[in-house]
Structures are given as C-alpha cells and as structure tokens.
Chains A and B, each alone.
Chain A
C-alpha cells in the first residue's frame, strides 16, 4: 500500500519538477520573443508615425516589459529598458543593449534599417532557441519519467 502511495507521490513530484523546468524553458524563450515583439512594434511606430522613444514605449504592452524581466514603472527610454531588463539569454541581452545604446541617434531610414537588422538577428536567435527548446523539453519529459520509473522500480 505504502509502495503504491510512494510511487504515486514520486510520479506527482516528477511531473511537478518537469512542469517547473518546462516553464523555465518557456520563460527563457518568452524573454527573447518579447524583445523581438518590442522591436517589431518600435519599427512599425517609427515607420508610420516617427514617434520618439518615450511615446513608442508608452504604446507598448507592459506585459512585454515584464516578460523581459523589467520591473518597475514604464521605461522612458530604450537604454533604461535595456538596463533594467533581466533577459536570460545572454546573446539576446547583448543584442538588445547594443540596439538601445545607439537608438535614436540617426535619421528615420537609418533607424529603420537598424531595427530591421536587429530584428533579423533576433528572429534567427529565437528560431535557434525554439529548436533547442523543443529538444530540451523532450529531454526534460523523458528524464523526469525515466527517473520516476527508476525510483518506483527501486522502491517496489
């Protein structure tokens, strides 16, 4: 009886741990996607209205800032956002801070080209991470189930 209860508990724990790990993987990707969406929105708002940075940031959904790990009041500049953001992926964080550092120092066409360039890099990074994430998820699920099974076998 105890062995059955123990096995169930092991399986529940394994599922919970796997779920946490999968969430972690999703959050990792979410941060990268949020930066990509912010840049896409920025590009559109410059293209259509040539809005200054503070006005662009006002028009971006606050949940995207949260996904980047930015806590606090809405940022007034991209530099402030890049500084306050806690992006898990190092390469994305570097790309975003390079984008923010020189943002707003050139004329419209140049700025749009910069946005396009960084977007391209971010998209390819995101694609790569998505592929890696799919693999990682499989590993997490497989390892969790296998570990749980191994433990159950040991107990039984």
Chain B
C-alpha cells in the first residue's frame, strides 16, 4: 500500500499534469503503460517521437532506464500535442523553440527538435517537429534548512552561490526551494528571480513573498534590469555556463548584488573547466559552490566548497567536504 502511495505521488500525479496536452485516448494509454512500472520506479521523462512509440525514462534505486510503451504517436498526433503545449500559439514560443524547448505552466520543460531553418549560422525557425522530451517534475525533499540558512547568510554578506550537478539531479527544484525560503519570513530578503525559461516563477507563489519575477528575460539583461531598477538583495537565475552569457552576466553584475545560479557539471573540476564558469569564478561572482546529488532515499546530498577551495581544486587538489 505504501509503495502504491509513493508511486501515485511520484509518477502518476505528474502525468496528470499532461492530461490536457494529449487526446484522451492517448493519455489513458500512457497511464496504463505507467501501471507496468515497478512501484519504486518514477517517470522522469516522457519522450514522444513522430511515428514511434512513446518512451519513458524511469529512475529509481539509483538507476535510470528507458521503457518503451505501446502508445504509438503519429506525426499528426505529435503535432496536435505540440500545438496544445504552445497554447495554440506557436509564434508566442518561437524564441524558446529556436533554443530547443517550450515551458509549460507548472514548470514542466519540454525539449523540442525537428528540422531547423538556418540563416547566417543562426537558427531562425524550427519546423516539422519530430520529437518532444517532456521532463516530468517529481517530488524530492526540500533542501536541508542548514543549507538554505547558509546560502542566505552568504547572500547577506554579498557572497553568491553556484549550485551544480549533472542533469536531473534537482538543481531547479533546489532553486524553487530558495525562491520560497529567501523572500519569506522575518529575515526575508528582497529577491529578484530572472526566470528565462519560465520554469520557476509559476511555482513560487505567495502574497508574502518579497520576490520580483523577471520572466522570459535573457539572463544578462534580466540581471542588469533587476540590479538597476529593482534594488534586490539577491538575484536568482537558472542554468548559466555559456562563455558569451558569462561575459554578459559579468558586465551586468558588477555592483555587489550576490547571484545564486545553477550550472550543469558532474563535479567541481568539470565545472571549473567550463570557460564561462571560469570567467565568473575569476571575477569572484560566486564565493561558494554547492554540489547537489539526489540520494537513494529521494533527499538531497550536498557538498559545499568555498571560493578558495574551488580555486585550489582548479589547480588539481580536491578539497570537497561532504556535509550531507
């Protein structure tokens, strides 16, 4: 019974958020396919390809595997589902489609690929959508309070934090926790959230949150506007890393407002090998680094590094201290 409850929370519940995007027959077929999963397995991704069977990526007990369902999606059905995901307004999502994704309400991100039209080396449009990868959010425990308090203490001292982990290890979930923790309570801070992909703000609601949301802004531009006009005590943004993006962030983020951001990297050494991150590290945009990992029990495992530790690690010494 307990397993069933867990499964309802972790896999069937999130699938229900997708109900409105599929013709009902296909949706119920997907639900039936989800019944075939083992109780401890949770659906992390749903992949739809034109003229192919839908596929789940499932995780659990520290393993991930692909599970092909018996639900067939024709080209028209995929196009119809995609049209629903774009709220029947493809033009409104053209920028994000060109970048490879669409954000659904409730923070679900859908990876999109098809045939690209390129002009001068730049993608100007994507048509004949052939595959969608729907990343299904699943419940993980919130960040430990000590970590949240530590990040807030650092932010009060003007120290930014970079949270890193491999994909699907809870970075965005962690930022959501921070968006609800930092701007709330007696020690609430004025927080500006630069939500380029519209993944965070829709879930961070509350009439007592001291949170300014800049949704859809390019990161550097959002950070610049937040810094100049919203007077935040801390800025939060998701997934940085590109070199040009880092340079732009550096340009706009030089007036002492601490930045809390996330980046993809399996470990600190790999993180520091990313040129964009190195630029930000050398400019001391971040004073602390937090490595995240989802433990087998579903909670977060974190390792924290100071700027100096990270800097030494860049030179080859590993000095990470496991906290949880």
The answer to whether B89 and A53 have CB atoms under 8 Å apart is yes
Kindly list 8 other residue pairs between chains A and B, CB separation below 8 angstroms, not including A78-B88, A106-B90: A52-B86, A52-B93, A53-B89, A54-B87, A104-B90, A104-B91, A105-B83, A105-B90
> What per-residue 1/0 map shows which CB atoms of B255-290 lie under 8 Å from chain A?
000000000000000000000000000000000000
Asked whether B94 is an interface residue with its Cβ less than 8 Å from the other chain, the reply is yes
Asked whether B60 is an interface residue with its Cβ less than 8 Å from the other chain, the reply is no
Asked whether B92 is an interface residue with its Cβ less than 8 Å from the other chain, the reply is yes
Docked complex: B58-103 residues within 8 A CB-CB of A = 83, 86-94
The size of the chain A interface, using a CB distance under 8 A, is 17
Asked whether B125 is an interface residue with its Cβ less than 8 Å from the other chain, the reply is yes
The answer to whether A52 and B92 have CB atoms under 8 Å apart is yes
The residue of chain B having its C-beta at the shortest distance from the C-beta of A79 within the complex is B88
The answer to whether A50 and B92 have CB atoms under 8 Å apart is yes
CA distance A105 to B91 in the complex (A): 8
CA distance A119 to B87 in the complex (A): 23
Docked complex: A45-85 residues within 8 A CB-CB of B = 46, 50-54, 77-79
Report chain A residues within 8 Å CB of B83: 104-105
Which B residues are within 8 Å of any A CB, using their own CB?
83, 86-94, 125
Report chain B residues within 8 Å CB of A19: none
The answer to whether B88 and A52 have CB atoms under 8 Å apart is yes
Report chain B residues within 8 Å CB of A51: 89, 92
Chain A nearest Cβ from B138, distance in angstroms: 27
- Which secondary structure characterizes the binding site on chain B? helix
Asked whether A108 is an interface residue with its Cβ less than 8 Å from the other chain, the reply is yes
CA distance A111 to B90 in the complex (A): 9
The answer to whether B89 and A107 have CB atoms under 8 Å apart is no
Q: Report if A111-B91 is in contact (Cβ < 8 Å); known contacts: A104-B83, A105-B83.
A: yes
Picked from B88, B91, B94, the residue with its CB within 8 Å of the CB of A77 is: B88
Q: Offer 12 A-B interface pairs, CB within 8 angstroms, sorted by A.
A: A46-B91, A50-B91, A52-B88, A52-B92, A53-B87, A53-B89, A103-B89, A104-B86, A104-B88, A105-B83, A107-B91, A108-B94
Report chain B residues within 8 Å CB of A54: 87-89
The answer to whether A108 and B91 have CB atoms under 8 Å apart is yes
CA distance A51 to B94 in the complex (A): 11
Interface centre among B86, B89, B93, B125 (most CB of A within 10 A): B89
Interface centre among B86, B87, B88, B90 (most CB of A within 10 A): B88
Chain A nearest Cβ from B84, distance in angstroms: 10
CA distance A104 to B79 in the complex (A): 12
Which 9 A-B pairs rank lowest in CB-CB distance, beginning with the nearest? A52-B89, A108-B91, A104-B89, A52-B87, A52-B92, A104-B88, A111-B91, A107-B94, A53-B89
